[in-house]
Amino acid sequence: MWMRRDRLLVTLTLAAVFSADVYFVLLPKLRDRYLRGGCTCPAAGGNNTSRRNSGAPHWSSNSSTVTRGDSGVRLGVITASTETGGKTWKSKLERLFAHPLYNIRSPEAGAEEVLLQPEELMSYYRRKVSRWERHKKYYNEVAAASNISFPDREVVFDPEATWLKFHLGINKYALYARDDPNIEHLLQDMRKTAIINADYTQDEKALKGGCDCSQVVKPSGHHLKLALKLQDFGKAMFKPMRQERDQETPEDFFYFVDFQRHNAEIAAFHLDRILDFRRVPPVAGRLINVTGEILFTTHNDDLRSVFFTSPANNTCFFAKCLYVCKTEYAVCGNPDMLEGSMSAYLPGLSIAPRISIPNPWIRSYTFTGREEWEVNPFYCDTIKQLYPYNSGSRLLNIIDMAIFDFLTGNMDRHHYEIFTKFGDDGFPLHFDNARGFGRHSHDEMSILAPLTQCCIIKRSTLLRLRLLSQEEYRLSDVMRESLGRDALQPILTEPHLLALDRRLQRVLRVVHKCMKKLGEPQVVAIDFVESRRATTKPAGNR
C-alpha cells in the first residue's frame, strides 16, 4: 500500500514540477518566438558574423550587397525588454531609434563612396559666393536707377554651415547618417535663417515660353515653388500652402491634376527617416512674409510682376505660364504671412550630377491610357531581365520606394534620380512627395505593384515594418511625435496618421501572401549580416 502511495506522490510531484516548468519557462519562450516574432535582428555592438560564420562585416540596410534568404532565417523583432535592457522610455521615437535595427553599423565609406570631398566643395561654393557678390552689386546699381530698394543683407559664407555639413555627409548608402545631429540643426536653420533672395526654380525657368495652357497635364504639375537663398548661402525649395490639412483630394481627381501639399513634403521626410531609408532631403515647415521675404528680395522681374492684392486685401502671387496661366491659381498670404515647406537643396548638378530615370512602374498620364504593368501581372518577370534591375539592389530599392509611396498615398512617382558617381549601386532619391497624403480614406493598392508583382523585399525593410506594427513602436505614434517637433505642427490630421497603420498592415499582408505562395527564401533578400549574439545557427549549417 505504501509503495502505491509513494508512487502516486512522486507522480504528482513530478507533474507539478513539469507544469511549473512549462508555465514559467517554456511558454514565455514560445510566446516571444511566435507571438512577437522571435527577433534574429543584429544587436548594436555585437560581434560580426554571417549565418555561415564567414566573418563578413555588418552592412547598412541601404547596401547594394544582397542575397536571398534561406530557411534558417527567422523574421521578427526584438521584444522591448530585450532591446533596451529594461530601460523605461518616455518617448516612443527615442525608443525606436535606440532599437538594434536602427543601430546597424554601416561600412566605412571610402573616398569613392562619399559624394563630395571638402576641398572640392569649398572651392566650388567660394566661387559661387564671389559670383553672387558681383551680381548683387550690378542688381543694386540697376535697382537704384529704377528707384527700387532691396534689403541690405550680406551673404555670410560659413565653412561650418549646417547645409554644407549635410552635403559633405552624403554617401552611397544614404543622404545622412542615422545619428547625425547636424540634421536637426539644419532643420532649425531652414526655419529661422534670413532669406536674401527668391527666384523661380531652374526647371520652371526652362518651361518659360514653352507652356501650353490648353494641356490637361501641365509640364511640371500644378504647383508654384520657389528657390530661396538663405543668408548663410544655403538654399531651400519653398512650396507654399495650397490646401487645408483637413481637405481630402476629391474622388474624381486624377493624380496628375491633384494639388500638391506642403505638409505632405514635411511628413514624407519624417516618414522616410522613421523607415530608415534616409533618401528624402531634410524638410522643415516655415511661416514666410511673402512681401518682405519674397517680393522685396527677388531680382527676377517676372516673379515681381505677378504679385497683386486680392479683394480680401491679402498679398498674392502666381506663376507666369510656368505651371498655370490664371490668377485663380495664385497663392495668398494672410495678409502677408504664408506657410510652406522648406526642402534643403542637394549639391549643384555641376559638382554632383544626377540622372533622372523613368520608373519601370510609371503611370499613364492621360485619361484613358494604361501601361503594361497595369494589364500584365507577370510584368516583373520582364523587368528582372533588364539592366539595371537584373542585378544589385536597384529593384529592391524600387520596391522600398513603392512601399514608401503607398504609405503616403503618392501615385505620382513617374521618375527617380540617382547620383551618377555611385553608378548602379546608387540609391534612388525620394524626391517630390507633395502629392502624398491626399486621401486618408482610400488605400491605392496599385502603388504596391512592384511588391505584389515581384514578391521580393529587403529583410531590413521587412523587419522595420514589423517593428513599426507593434504597439510599443506604432507607426502613427512615432510619426505624430516626430511631426510634433515641426514649427507648423500639426502637420497631419489624425485620420492620415491612422491611415499609416492601416496601410502598413496591408503591406505586411502582401508580403505574407508572397511567402505563403513562394516560400520565405524566395521572398526575403538578406541585405545585412546578423550579429552572433542575436543569431540562432541554422539547422545543418546551410
Helix (H) / strand (E) containing 198: strand 195-200
Structural contact between residues 331 and 240, judged by C-beta atoms closer than 8 angstroms: yes
DSSP single-letter state for residue 36: S
- Does 387 belong to an annotated binding site? no
**Placement of cell 501641365 in the chain:** 218
Report residue 339: phi and psi, to 5°: -90, 155
Return the bridge partners of 198, or none. 228
Q: Classify strands 457-458 and 524-526 as parallel, antiparallel or unpaired.
A: parallel
Structural contact between residues 467 and 100, judged by C-beta atoms closer than 8 angstroms: no
- Does 20 belong to an annotated binding site? no
- Does 344 belong to an annotated binding site? yes
**Helices and strands, counts by H and E, the chain:** 19, 13
Of 189, 412, 425, 527, the catalytic one is: 412
Euclidean distance between CA atoms 333 and 318, whole angstroms = 12
- Tell which residue, 338, 289, 288, 293, has the closest CA to residue 151: 293
Return the bridge partners of 91, or none. none
Q: Is-catalytic flag, 252?
A: no
DSSP single-letter state for residue 291: I
- Tell which residue, 93, 127, 37, 34, has the closest CA to residue 459: 37
- Does 432 belong to an annotated binding site? yes
- Tell which residue, 57, 165, 151, has the closest CA to residue 104: 57
Peptide bond into 219 cis (omega under 30): no
Peptide bond into 490 cis (omega under 30): yes
Structural contact between residues 279 and 272, judged by C-beta atoms closer than 8 angstroms: yes
Q: Strands, E, within 102-152: which ranges?
A: none
- Does 482 belong to an annotated binding site? no
Name the residues annotated as catalytic. Answer: 412
Please report, in range form, the residues annotated as the binding site.
239, 343-346, 417, 432
Residues placed in the known binding site for ATP:
239, 343-346, 417, 432
